Amino acid sequence: MANVVDFQSFWALFRQAVMNDDTAAIEAMVSFPLKAKGELDDDPIKAIGKPAFGPVLRASLKEAANMRGFSGSTLDFLRANPVFPKVDLDGGGAQRIGGLLFRRQTNGWKLSMIYRSDGD
């Protein structure tokens, strides 16, 4: 996969991969080992490898998107937004949607952490 510099382009690719349930394409957009932690500051960070990634992502997609003016899950937000809303872009090197944290890295944007409400 080519390095994607701007978040809108990354969003389009990530969204399409999720909509198509294309595990290989999604995994290509993840920085492994993926970090996972609970919502509390003192929750430990765990490393998630490719074998455990699918169930963790599916659970995270079911959680609330927590985006301005949007009521629904992260998956609902992905479905509803083929273009990421400009009002929600933070303009920096990180972007969070629900429990998914994306970071701009030297090799493009990657999913770098999942915050899990269950803390596991």
CATH number of the CATH domain containing 27: 3.10.450
Residue 119 CA to residue 79 CA, distance in Å, equals 26
Structural domain includes residue 32:
yes
Q: Which two tokens stand for residue 62?
A: 């079911």
Residue 90 CA to residue 97 CA, distance in Å, equals 11
Total domain count, the chain? 1
Q: What is the residue range of 104's domain?
A: 7-116
Q: Are 44 and 37 contacting, i.e. CB atoms less than 8 angstroms apart? A: yes
pLDDT at residue number 118 = 62
Structural domain includes residue 74:
yes
> What are the φ/ψ torsions at residue 86 (nearest 5 degrees)?
-60, -35
As averages over each run of 10 residues, the pLDDT of the chain (120 residues) reads 74 96 95 89 90 94 92 96 84 88 92 79
Structural domain includes residue 2:
no
Structural domain includes residue 1:
no
Q: How far is CA 118 from the centre of its chain?
A: 17
Helix (H) or strand (E) holding 76: helix 74-80
